[in-house]
Amino acid sequence: MNIVSRYFRAGMTRRIRKRVLPNLGRILTGWQIRRCRCCERITLFLTFGTDEETRICLRCTANLRYELQAEYLRENFNPESLDILEMDPNSCLRRFLSRGRTYIRSYFRPGHKPGTVREEDGSVMEDITRLTLPDASLDIIVSSDVLEHVPDVAAAFRETFRVLRPGGTHVFTVPYEARTVRRAMIENNGIMHIETPEYHSDPLDPRGILAFWHFGPDLDVHFGHSGLGFALVKGPEGKRRSVVWAARKPI
Ligand SMILES: [Zn+2]
């Protein structure tokens, strides 16, 4: 055995001892075999944490909030006749949403020019507060745990109102809190914290991503002036009280 493989084997043993063994009970007891409400197949759900946020379908990677969102979309929309924007290039909802008449998937990176098409997967860089899409050009916008991280969320709702057709809907998930509160804001190009900083896990950043907002059942009171009508359409469900919101542009 050479020095490199010995090193990796030692690392692997250490990782198993430190991370897997202490959590083995939870990983095993959290397993579920059931029909996934997103991909609609019988599947194994694996748990990697303490709540349903980290319990995922082995086939499509959906967790509870994605399952709720998939269920709402399937129950209420026939994608074939709709123009759709999904603000996530890799979500488990793509299998359903990509059946749309048109389907745009977008990604977000600060510093990238809005409208840039990424070569690796064809997704488009979009900033939800200044979309590059024309007025009244979409029937559905889908975002999943995005809006709580947008400092100027009023601008995001103004933009979604602008690009939706009358009768169009922005279907979104955000963590469900007791009330709507701004937790942080951007001032003089820096972050000003109003509440204790709260970070959510982010696949792109090991430090996590800051929550600028909490959203509660009073969402309509705070952002109804955008012209959108907000309705809680799924949940709360599970330990984390997962919900789905539909923000609809009136006909
Ligand atoms: Zn699934």
Cα–Cα distance between 102 and 99 in angstroms, integer?
8
Going from the Cα of 230 to the center of ligand 1, the distance in angstroms, rounded, reads 27
Counting every residue written for the chain, the total comes to: 251
Report how far ligand 1's centroid is from the alpha carbon of 5 (Å): 36
68-248 in CATH: which number? 3.40.50.150
Span 212-241, average pLDDT: 95
Highest mean pLDDT among 11-15, 23-27, 160-164: 160-164
Report d(CA 57, CA 226) in Å as an integer.
Answer: 36
Task: Assess contact for 156 and 147: CB atoms under 8 A.
Answer: yes
Q: Closest Cα to residue 65, out of 156, 162, 171, 166?
A: 171
CA 70 – ligand 1 centroid, Å: 10
Q: How far is the CA of 126 from the centre of ligand 1 (A)?
A: 27
pLDDT at 31: 83
Q: What is the pLDDT of residue 1?
A: 43
Quick one: tokens of 20? 């897997």
CA 36–ligand 1 middle distance (angstroms) = 5
Higher pLDDT, 83 or 202: 83
13: its two tokens: 């043993």
More confident residue, 15 or 46: 46
Question: How far, in Å, is the centroid of ligand 1 from the Cα of 34?
Answer: 10
Distance CA 230, CA 222 (A): 10
Confidence at residue 50, expressed as pLDDT on a 0 to 100 scale? 76
* C-alpha of residue 234 to centroid of ligand 1, in Å: 18
What stretch(es) of the chain map to CATH 3.40.50.150?
68-248
Other CB atoms within 10 A of residue 18 CB: 10
Ligand 1 midpoint to CA 218 (Å): 31
Q: If you measure from the C-alpha of residue 16 to the centroid of ligand 1, how many angstroms do you get, rounded to a whole number?
A: 27
HSE-CB of 31 using CA atoms within 13 angstroms: 10
Under 8 Å between Cβ of 144 and 92: no
- The confidence score (pLDDT) of residue 208 equals 87
- Who surrounds ion ligand 1 at CB < 5 A? 36, 38-39, 57, 59-60, 62
Taking the C-alpha atoms of residue 46 and residue 164, their distance in angstroms, rounded to an integer, is 37
81 C-alpha to ligand 1 centroid (Å): 24
In the reported structure, the alpha carbon of residue 198 is separated from the centroid of ligand 1 by a whole-number distance in angstroms of 29
Q: How far is the CA of 56 from the centre of ligand 1 (A)?
A: 8
Tell me, yes or no, if the pTM score tops 0.85.
Answer: yes
